[in-house]
Amino acid sequence: MKTLSNVDYIVFLIYFVIVATYGLWIYRRKKNINKDSKDYFLAEGSLTWWAIGASLIASNISAEQFIGMSGSGFKMGLAISTYEWMSAATLIIVAVFFIPVYLKNKIFTMPQFLHQRYNDTVAMIMAIFWLALYIVVNLLSILYLGAVAVSGISGFSVFACLIFLSIFAILITLGGMKVIGYTDVIQVFFLILGGLVATYIGLETISNLSGDSGILKGFHVLYIEANDHFHMIFKKDNPNYLDLPGLTVLIGGMWIVNLNYWGCNQYITQRALGADLPTARGGILFAAFLKLLMPVLVVLPGIAAYYLYQHGMFQHEMLDSKGILDVNKAYPSLLNLMPTGMKGIAFAALTAAIVASLAGKANSIATIFTLDIYKKAINPEASETKLVNLGKMSVVVAMVIGLILALVIGDKLMGEGKQGFQYIQEYTGFVSPGIFAMFILGFFWKKASSNAALFATIGGFVFSVVLKFLPQWTNLSWLYNFNFATKNADGIYEIPFLDRIGFVFLLCMGGMYIISWADHIRGKTTNGLEIDSSMFVPKKSFTIGALIIVAILTTLYTVFW
């Protein structure tokens, strides 16, 4: 039954009071938080490695994982975990090669990097674009999926849940990055606890159905009887191949998705940009270890829900308004099996994940608008206090816009059985190849020019759109033999979006190379970054930790290939 008992409300209230009280204490301790924009937006020099790592995970893991990824786990199984496990490897690369460049050149925002490396035009175009992407794709999806999830557990209307989540996130965000960073440590605790409880309930229920008890027995039954949901690499005849096209998840577009997200994304890198290099690297490595755990919290419950659905449970709970199976309801359906008290923990965990992610996104929106648009183009002489106040106003405005979009179009984009997680990945993928090409060449090739960067920015989006709609204009069946196309639900041969990302990235890199050399021949100068090879050499402790992660990943992919 979709209701919370009095005990569940008490558990949730305890969580709310702990987060609110701790956040207020952090806010009051930092006397300059309303007078220094860098301190407010970046918590410069204030976050420890464990706070950075926890904040990275809390900002990353939200309703799109708990609801969207669990739904994908229900539909396609463990393979969706590649987004989490490949992130762990990606974070190591970001810590070794990306963060040192940012810190060495005192870069605090992604548009600032583009301004410093290319020119004002590229920086301003991307600043405006990022604002639109963060609000229209990210805030919208987090709010909508989060409200659906909370509604599924509590029984409150989706509208009421949208309002509650928006207000809670605004309250956390207004305290600045330091408040976000340290409250995220508490959020991650509840997030992990709630995820483990959901997994425990799912496996224990499966074990009881088999006439036994214990989560190990439950996992054994699940692995044997739903073995088709425990393969990481799909063959091209798999119905889910369009979402996860075979080896592309290991050697293709998945790398571009992750490197762009973790290394070129204000929303994420902001957590580490206010720290020194060893602290930043330590935090990122901690986040990589936590990433290894995430599939246990968000994917395994989806697979457990699939097994239980196949055995007669959730037959009504998982149907949408049209009577169609809605995979996004897998996680809420599983949580409704929880006993009193446990449900309150799960409710707190979901809320923690959603609010932390909303707060991080809203803070990044405010940072980009205030520092990279308002201060650069509108009022360069603005005082620090004015910038902080404007940042707070930006948080409220962005959240209101996201709320309106979630109310108006959230159901059309992610309701009625659609996979919310895949929606976010595909539409972000329209721009990630061009952005990553622009960043990677900007880092390590001094001849990369501003004209080339503009080509990647605009051309990358155009290439992505063309490849998306190409199947409607011509027959791509000939690409099937090269594993670059497969049939969609309508029987039309389509290029999987992860492969599209790889193709567009190569086109952007090639175009940037040609344009940059043409600009170089014409005598145009470029703005290189300050790079010292010694800064790419991590400490021994980091290297050992990174090797452990690589060994674990190798084992996981070997076992579940």
Buried b (16+ CB within 10 A) or exposed e, 302-317: bbbbbbbbeeebbeeb
The 10s digit of each residue's pLDDT in 205-264 is 999 887 777 888 989 999 999 898 999 998 877 888 888 888 888 888 889 989 988 888
The 10s digit of each residue's pLDDT in 368-427 is 888 888 888 888 887 877 888 888 888 889 889 988 888 887 766 665 545 556 666 777
What per-residue confidence (pLDDT) applies to 40?
Answer: 58
Q: Where are the domains of the chain?
A: 6-551
181 touches 46 (CB < 8 A): yes
* Nearest CA among 65, 169, 147 for reference residue 407: 147
How far apart CA 77 and CA 514 sit, in angstroms, is: 42
- Specify the pTM: 0.81
Cα dist from 340 to 298, 301, 325, 388, whole Å:
21, 19, 27, 43
The 10s digit of each residue's pLDDT in 130-166 is 888 888 877 888 888 788 777 877 778 888 888 988 8
What per-residue confidence (pLDDT) applies to 515?
Answer: 94
How far apart CA 67 and CA 69 sit, in angstroms, is: 6
Buried b (16+ CB within 10 A) or exposed e, 171-205: bbbbbbbbbbbbbbbbbbbbbbbbbbbbbbbbbbb
Confidence check: pLDDT of 320 > 70 = no
How far apart CA 387 and CA 350 sit, in angstroms, is: 32
Confidence check: pLDDT of 500 > 70 = yes
Neighbours of 322 (CB within 10 A): 8
Q: Which CATH architecture has domain 6-551?
A: Up-down Bundle (1.20)
What per-residue confidence (pLDDT) applies to 297?
Answer: 87
Q: Compute the half-sphere exposure of residue 30: CA atoms within 13 Å on the CB side of its CA.
A: 27
The per-residue pLDDT of the chain, averaged, comes to 82
Degrees (nearest 5) of the Cα angle 74, 502, 481? 80
Give the pLDDT band (50/70/90) at residue 1. Answer: very low
Q: Which of 90-94, 235-239, 453-457, 500-504 has the lowest mean pLDDT?
A: 235-239
Q: Which residues pair with 319 in a beta bridge?
A: 325
Confidence check: pLDDT of 2 > 60 = no
What per-residue confidence (pLDDT) applies to 414?
Answer: 60
What per-residue confidence (pLDDT) applies to 472?
Answer: 78
The 10s digit of each residue's pLDDT in 45-54 is 557 888 788 7
Distance of CA 481 to the CA centre of its chain: 33
In three-state secondary structure terms, 325 is strand
| Greater model confidence, 36 or 533 | 533
How far apart CA 433 and CA 420 sit, in angstroms, is: 21
Q: Average the pLDDT over 270-293 and give the result.
A: 86
Q: Average the pLDDT over 518-524 and give the result.
A: 88
The 10s digit of each residue's pLDDT in 19-64 is 777 767 766 665 554 555 555 555 555 578 887 887 788 777 776 6
What per-residue confidence (pLDDT) applies to 422?
Answer: 62
| Greater model confidence, 357 or 438 | 438
Confidence check: pLDDT of 170 > 80 = yes
Give the pLDDT band (50/70/90) at residue 355. Answer: confident
Answer left, alpha or beta for residue 407, where phi above 0 means left and psi between -120 and 50 means alpha: alpha
